[in-house]
Amino acid sequence: MDTPTRTTTSLRPGTAPEWILDPSGSTDREQRSGGRAPRPRRRLFRLLVLLLVLATIGAGTAAAVVTAAIASRPDYPDTVVAGGTGAGSAVARGGGRPTAEDGYIADGDSLAVSDAAPAVARLDPALREALQQAHAAAAEDGIDLRVGGGWRSKAYQAWLLRDAVRTYGSTAEAARWVGTPETSLHVKGQAVDISPYDAADWLNRHGAQFGLCRTYDNEAWHFELSPSAVDAGCPPMFRDPTEDPRMRS
Ligand SMILES: [Zn+2]
């Protein structure tokens, strides 16, 4: 087609079309139709848009308040906002609960030692390999050795620590049970909590041959890889994490 498109808006120098000057923002077509009153359906639509805008503002304000509250906490202030590789998780953004992406495993739940979930898949490969060997040996004794806790994001560890501070009443007492995002061997992928109890008990008796050792006297479930244990046996345990020099960095 070589016929030029017909334009309905004429622009003279120094003037603007009516729809630009009209502060109500109504279109030229509406002007021509005589400025009717809004029809009920249009009113409903405007009400819905208004509600949507208000809801968006409300959610944004709530998120800002939660983030500010967490950022101002005296204990481990910047770990939740900055932490972890659990990108997109609610807990990494400073609100909500940790998810499987953070390595979260609910209380009472457990995963197979070959599970593809981050809690297992992000463990140190040598630790995971040792676990799988131990799992096969335990199975011959009728024991199902499973992972009740494995790799965790920094955000998840910070969430656990805040929960422990509430439970134990002080950061010092909470640190006897829960490491910080900076020190926890779980965040480094170098520790695993074995489930259920009979499996942890089995590993306590047979783990050294796989290089798997309990670290703390007060945590019957917590194991780490100690390759020298295959020949030399497991090193002595710490009474609890507060005696572990690695927890003080
Ligand atoms: Zn542990």
Ligand 1: distance of its center to the CA of 40 in Å? 62
Residues paired with 194 in a beta bridge: 147
The pairs formed by 105-114 with CB atoms below 8 angstroms and a separation of 24 or more are: 105/147, 105/148, 105/149, 105/150, 109/148, 110/146, 110/147, 110/148, 110/195, 110/196, 111/146, 111/147, 111/150, 112/146, 112/147, 113/145, 113/146, 113/147
Residue 47 has pLDDT above 90, yes or no: no
- Could you report the predicted ipTM of this complex, rounded to two decimals? 0.99
* pLDDT score, position 248: 77
Yes or no: say if 101 and 86 are a contact pair by the CB < 8 Å rule. Answer: yes
Residue 226 has pLDDT above 90, yes or no: yes
Residue 91 has pLDDT above 80, yes or no: no
Ligand 1: distance of its center to the CA of 189 in Å? 10
For range 182-207, the mean pLDDT: 97
* pLDDT score, position 52: 55
| Residues of the chain above pLDDT 70, percent | 61
Yes or no: say if 193 and 149 are a contact pair by the CB < 8 Å rule. Answer: yes
Residue 216 has pLDDT above 90, yes or no: yes
* pLDDT score, position 53: 53
For range 178-194, the mean pLDDT: 95
- The candidate with the shortest Cα–Cα distance to 147, out of 172, 174, 122, is 122
Ligand 1: distance of its center to the CA of 67 in Å? 28
* pLDDT score, position 1: 43
Read off the pLDDT of residues 101-129 as tens digits, 9 standing for 90 and up.
999 999 999 999 999 999 999 999 999 99
For range 191-209, the mean pLDDT: 98
For range 212-226, the mean pLDDT: 97
Ligand 1: distance of its center to the CA of 223 in Å? 7
Ligand 1: distance of its center to the CA of 87 in Å? 23
* pLDDT score, position 176: 78
Ligand 1: distance of its center to the CA of 64 in Å? 33
Ligand 1: distance of its center to the CA of 37 in Å? 68
Give the pLDDT band (50/70/90) at residue 218.
Answer: very high
| Residues of the chain above pLDDT 90, percent | 54
Residue 192 has pLDDT above 60, yes or no: yes
Read off the pLDDT of residues 131-182 as tens digits, 9 standing for 90 and up.
999 999 999 999 999 999 999 999 999 999 999 999 999 988 888 788 899 9
* pLDDT score, position 247: 85
Instruction: Give Cβ neighbours of residue 85 (< 8 Å, ≥ 6 apart).
Output: 153
Per DSSP, the residues of the chain read --SPPPPS----TT---HHHH-TT---HHHHHTT-PPPPHHHHHHHHHHHHHHHHHHHHHHHHHHHHHHHHT-SSSTTHHHH--S-TT-TGGGTSS---GGGT---TT--B-TT--SHHHHTS-HHHHHHHHHHHHHHHHTT---EEEE----HHHHHHHHHHHHHHHSSHHHHTTT---TTT-TTTTT-EEEEESHHHHHHHHHHGGGGTEEE-BTT-TTEEEE-TTHHHH-PPPPBSSGGG-GGGG-
Class of 99-248 in CATH = alpha beta
* pLDDT score, position 95: 64
Ligand 1: distance of its center to the CA of 77 in Å? 23
**Who wins on pLDDT, 231 or 95?**
231
